[in-house]
Every structure is written in C-alpha cells, then in structure tokens.
Chain A
C-alpha cells in the first residue's frame, strides 16, 4: 500500500486537530477531579459515543474484520449478544449505584460497599491489566503499519504515544473523551465506504450468502453443536459464557468504560450513556465485521484474466492465513488516494482512542485507589492533580515498555491477553451480589473474588483447546479456544458467586444505615417523572432491546 501526499495531509490535519482540542481544554483543568473525572460535566451525547469509542481500539477494529473473515456473521454475537444486553443492564440497574454512590472509580465503589482489601485487589489487577492491554494494542498497530506501509515500528509507536500523551496531559479525561467522539466519527467515515464497496463488489448480501457456506452467513442456525459452526462453540457456552458472564463483566465492571458514564453531567445522563451508546453500537458490525465477510466472498470470485479478485494474505513464509491483515489489504484494494488517507487516519484514531481510554482509566485508579489510599493520604488536592499528571506520563511510558515486551516475547503476550479475557468474569458476580443483595459481606466478596480468579486459572491449566493449554494436566478438551474462554468465564463466575454467598452467610453483615446509596432496596432509584418520554431510560432500553432482537432474527 502506497500513500499519496494528500493522505499525509489528512493524517496531519487529524493530528493537529486532536492536539488542538487538548490545547483548548487545558484551561478547564484546575482540580484533580477536573483532570481525572472531567468534573462530571460532559453532555450525554458525548459520553455515549465515548463509551463505545473507548472500547473500539485498533485491535478491536482489526480483530473484528479478521473474525468476520474467519467466523462469518457469528462474529456479530460479540455485539448483539455480547454487548447490547449488558449495556442496557448497566444503564437501567447498575448506574444508579455507581453514580449515586459518588464513588470516583470502580475500585472505590468496592471499598465503599465492601472493604479496603477488596478494593486493593481490584485496583491492582486493573492497573496492571490496562497497562498491558494498552501496550499490546500499540504493538499490534506498530506491527501492522510496518507490514502494510513499511513504517518503522519504533517511530509509529513513539509518535502516536507522544500525541496521546500530549492531549491527555493537557486536558485530562475531558480531552480524552472529546477526542474519542471525534475518533468515533472518523472510524465510521473511514470504514463505512469500505463496507459498502466490498459488499457491493461481492454482489450485495445476497451475493455473499450465495458464495459462502451457510454457517458463515447465519448467526444462530448452526449453534446446535460446536462442530457445526466455525467458532466451535455450542449454544449454552455462547449464551452463558459470552452473553452473560464475559459481556456483563466487561461492560458493567470495567472502569475503562464505566468511567465515561461517570463523567456525565447528571444521574439521568449517566444512566442514558450506555443506552444511547447501544444504538450506534448495534450497527457497528455492518462497518467493522461486514468487510471481513465480504473479503471471503471476493476471494472466491474470479475477475478478467482468471485472477482472483482478492486473496486473504498468508503469514510470512507459511501457508497459514493471516486474518489480521484482511482490513488493511482490503483498503489497499478498494481505496484510491484521498479516502485511503481517511481510512488510515481512522485506524490511527481507533488506536489512539483505545490507548487514551486505558491511560485515563489507569491514572484515575492509580491516583485515587493506590496513591491516595496506600501511599499518601490527606494531601491537598493540588498534590493529587500533579500526581494524576505524572501518572499519565508514567502510564504512557509503561505502555510503550509493554509494547516492546510484546515485540520480543510474543507468546507471553498471547497468554496475558487470554488471561485478561477472564479477569473480569468473577468480578461481575461480586458486583451483582454487592449491588442487589444487602446480606453480601466484605469477606464474602474478597474470598469469592480470589476463588473465582484461582478457579479461572485452574480451568485454563487443566483443559486443552486447539493443542494449547493443559499446563497442569488434561481433564477436558474444548473444540476451540473460544469455547474454552467462554467456559473458563462460566466457571470463574459460578465459583465466585457460590463462595461469596457461602462466606457471607457465616460472616457479620454491615448495618443497613452504612449501605444507603450502595445497595438495591436501600437506594432511591430516580424515576425521571419530569423527563420527556424519549429521555427516560426505560423507554430507551426497550427500544434498544427490540432493535437488537430484530437484528438477531434477521441474520439468524
């Protein structure tokens, strides 16, 4: 892929733009709350788009097109099953406790509801996880830019990291959130034309359906047993593992996304954030997954001269298909200079929004939940603002370090990424019990969380999938890594849930007066009687769920 001068102009304009937004927002920052929490003053349409953009990192973008080519329309389960219901639950039922408790972070809620050790456990794992995810995502982008454009790995990683650092340092969370919205627009502008062009070339959806195996173009019809569908997952594993544990664990307890909703300017806006965000989220598969599916159809079509229109690239020197390159090779095939610049800028934008999301979540958790709790309590706010700013620099530096680590120890990173996939799974059981069962105790939560995490690690170590795993022995073999991941999540959730309940039954309960605003039944849930009908969370939730069901049936 070769870039023309106009593509560089577009890329440069975008870089100037994000820095400009950071520069304009720098005066808004005078307290640590402004810097780390946006002073809870961001309009709802902005928090909603940032809520989904923070998750739409480069890895997600590249990965969804790759999965589209590998698994077909079943990939949309990650949206229509693995995100929408959880986002609705978050807005309707969990946001009143997060926003109403005045907690500044997810770990801080755990401290208010349970105790210090539960917070410490969560804050520490979360901080480590964000740094590594940010680093792995940097590595993925650096590698890709090197492969398709021949750009130097270090130059692209360092240059983008410096830009992200500059605008988050200047304007804090507000700057990250504002830029995430711009990035979201740009991702859609840069990739929607690719979806339309590739789909049209393959003869529209009907053309794709007629060329591919039925299990690539139907999301539900081939879920009866794991051997029938390309993902190698059966119905129960999919529904319980992805649809319940993993998705609720991610969208309801991961501070990276929860932080965006917490920045909203009112309780009502905070509750509507995931609900409004769910609307564009439902249609993202058509932008990010469809090109991957169309690519498989194009690879079967023969053009003039008997040449295949497109071929899925192979890993260097092997016969293994490298699905991660599908998105960029399609861009090269379909985009002339100009729109190519927009597409590439969209890719950079997704990378930056993912990284800024991780860095801003990291600096808040570090400053409030680690530094202010364990290192220096009771200092003036000015001090914590400085710490927040310094942590931003350290966070970016550590992510760069993690990116280089990923470059040298590829396998370790695969493993870590896999582990992070289920770290949130037991946490959702803790939150579910913490928010909806006032009998749940601090010791119950802590031991449940530890047991859940250990159970996840054990399940991973005792099972084999696609020839990997089984470090401690081989008790069971899964048909695919995906199925293994879903089942690890199910085991982690169940064991955390059971242990939390059991330990809670034998330990002392906290007084009800201490739990006001933190638990269901002891918290006033706002009903927004004065809100216009379309501003009511329940109305939005019903609308979102109905559309999600229609989409599921349409592509069943």
Chain B
C-alpha cells in the first residue's frame, strides 16, 4: 500500500470541507480573535497538499509499471 494515496484523499477531503465552510457559512468564518477567513486559507493549503500527495503517488505508480 502506498501511504500517499489514503493520506492524499484524506487531506483533499479535509480541504474541501474547510473551503466550503469558509465560502458558504459566514457565521463560521470568525472566532473571537481571528479576523481573517482562516477556514478558507487553511482549506486551500490542505487541498493543495492532498492533491500533491495524490500526484506523487500516481507518478510513482506509473513509473513502477
């Protein structure tokens, strides 16, 4: 099993959830001391990280074939 596949999917999913939270749920964007849309930004970062892992796993799989 290539660990990059499950963890890639996990972070992609996490990223999607957070991006959606950041975009559609205005009440959830802020906390007492936070004035930026932290869900959106961290969501985008996690999404990129998840897709990067999936891409790396795919490259490794096609190389070994």
Seen from chain A, the residues whose Cβ lies within 8 Å of a Cβ on chain B are 4, 6, 9-10, 13-14, 17, 20-21, 24-25, 28, 46, 178, 181-182, 185, 189, 193, 197-198, 201, 298, 309-310, 332-340, 342
A28 to B1, CA, bound (A): 10
Residues in A with CB closer than 8 Å to B46 are 189, 342
Q: B29-43: which have CB < 8 Å to A?
A: 29-34, 36, 38-39, 41-43
**A20 smallest CB distance to B (angstroms):** 7
Q: For the complex, give the distance between the alpha carbons of A342 and B15 in Å.
A: 10
In the bound assembly, the distance between CA atoms of A290 and B11 in angstroms comes to 24
Q: Which residues of B contact A178 (CB under 8 A)?
A: 1, 3
Given contacts A181-B7, A197-B34, contact A337 B21 (CB under 8 A): yes
Instruction: Give the residues in chain A near B22, CB-CB below 8 Å.
Output: 338
List 20 extra interface pairs beyond A201-B33, A336-B39, CB under 8 A: A10-B17, A13-B14, A21-B1, A178-B3, A181-B7, A182-B3, A182-B7, A193-B41, A193-B42, A197-B36, A310-B33, A333-B32, A333-B33, A336-B28, A336-B30, A337-B25, A338-B39, A340-B31, A342-B18, A342-B42
**Tally of contact residues, B, Cβ under 8 A:** 29
- In whole angstroms, what is the CA distance A446 to B31 when docked? 58
Q: Collect the chain A residues with CB atoms within 8 Å of residue B21's CB.
A: 6, 336-338
Residues of chain A within 8 A (CB-CB) of B49 are 185, 189
Chain B contacts for A20, CB-based, 8 A: 6
Can you name the residue of chain B whose Cβ is closest to the Cβ of A298? B33
13 cross-chain CB contacts under 8 A: A4-B28, A14-B10, A28-B1, A178-B1, A181-B7, A182-B3, A197-B34, A333-B33, A335-B34, A336-B29, A339-B38, A339-B42, A342-B42
Which of A14, A17, A189, A334 lies in contact with B34, CB distance below 8 A? A334
- Nearest B residue to A188 via CB reads B49
Interface of chain A, main secondary structure: helix
B1, A197: Cβ atoms closer than 8 Å: no
Q: How far is the CA of A333 from the CA of B32 in the complex (A)?
A: 5
Q: Is the CB–CB distance between A336 and B33 below 8 Å?
A: no
Q: For B6, B13, B36, which residue has the most chain A Cβ atoms within 10 angstroms? A: B6
Q: A4-B28, A201-B33, A309-B33 are in contact. Are A335 and B38 (CB under 8 A)?
A: yes
Query: Would B7 and A334 count as touching, CB distance under 8 A?
Result: no
- B28 CB, nearest partner CB in chain A, Å: 5
Among B1, B13, B25, the one with the most A-chain Cβ atoms within 10 Å of its Cβ is B1
Chain A residues, CB < 8 A from B14? 10, 13, 189, 342
B1 and A337 form a contact (CB under 8 A): no
Chain A residues with CB under 8 Å of B30's CB are 336
Shortest CB-to-CB span from A384 to chain B, Å, is: 24
